[in-house]
Chain A
Amino acid sequence: MIELTRRYRFSASHRLHTPVLTEAENREVYGKCNHPYGHGHDYILEVRLRGKPDPQTGVLLPVAKLDQLVRQAVLDDYDHKFLNEEVATFRTTPPTTENLAADIYRRLRQQWPFGENPSFSGVRIFETRRNVVELQ
């Protein structure tokens, strides 16, 4: 088995806030991420897949096919958007990096057209170069 990781970039804004908590509690929990007008990041998304390379072509998957899937399933929806308003999931859940990872993982898992070889094996999201969330 070999594992391949492809890196993508998207830029998006968000505000961390949950209606479940009071204004004061939101400020306490999310700090500057709760500032009312939101803020943005240049996210890096790593998509990981596993399998055996095709013996004839030597690749797990033509990379263009993976790029097309990730573009349609994730980047078209996320890139240069205000996540809280423009991505359905985040109208009801705060767009933390953890929740982004879960939403992106779910999208790729559900839309994965390549079966088990290669299989989808997870995502890693860098919110900044110092904050990373991984979901396998």
Chain B
Amino acid sequence: MKVTRRAEFSASHICSSPQLSPDENRAIYGEGANPHGHGHNYVLEVTVEGEPDPVTGMVMDLKHLKQVIQEEVIDPMDHRFLNREVAPFDRVIPTAENLAMEIWRRLAPRLASDKTRLDCVRLFETEDLYVEYRGELA
């Protein structure tokens, strides 16, 4: 059974590669490459898979899931300029794809137990663009 918890954070970023010219960056990232950055209200959905505990009836205590998301994602990323303030985005371009993979790397070890595993990180950059990551093997 899969359980999903939603969280939100607001952050700014610039998507451009120092190895590419301004024109190339604009062709790939569009307005996302504007040099002074811009921001989004990101919506994060974290899905955990497991069997409900026969006593508690829960796959995972949602307070625990909320706490892990808070510590690993919201506290470090909310109201931050990702490129400057959140590693590894000082050297990795903070595209939605790279953000989702980084969030997976932060959450997966903390949500793994003998009964549960992280199933999916879904990150909405806007209402009209979202990415889903299910780990290296998926």
Contacts and interface: CB of A to CB of B under 8 A. Distances in A.
Interface of A: 1-8, 53, 56-60, 62-64
Given A58-B92, A59-B29, A53 B97 contact: yes
A2 B100 contact: yes
Given A2-B101, A62-B28, A56 B129 contact: no
A58 B19 CA distance: 13
Given A56-B17, A57-B17, A58-B92, A5 B27 contact: no
A57 B30 contact: no
A122 to B, nearest CB: 12
B128 interface: yes
Residue among A2, A63, A64 with the highest chain B CB neighbour number at 10 A: A2
Interface size class for chain B?
Answer: 20 to 34
Contacts of A8: 128
B81 interface: no
Residue from B97, B100, B127 having most chain A Cβ neighbours under 10 A = B97
B72 interface: no
Nearest to A49: B131
Interface string B25-44: 00111100000000000000
A50 B17 CA distance: 22
Interface of B: 15, 17, 19-20, 27-30, 92-98, 100-101, 127-134, 138
Contacts of A7: 127-129
B29 to A, nearest CB: 7
10 contacts: A2-B131, A4-B96, A5-B129, A6-B129, A56-B19, A57-B20, A58-B93, A58-B97, A59-B15, A59-B95
A60 B131 CA distance: 10
Nearest to B129: A6
Contacts of A57: 17, 20, 28-29, 93, 95
Contacts of A53: 95, 97-98, 101
Contacts of A64: 27, 30
A98 to B, nearest CB: 24
B133 A4 contact: no
B132 A58 contact: no
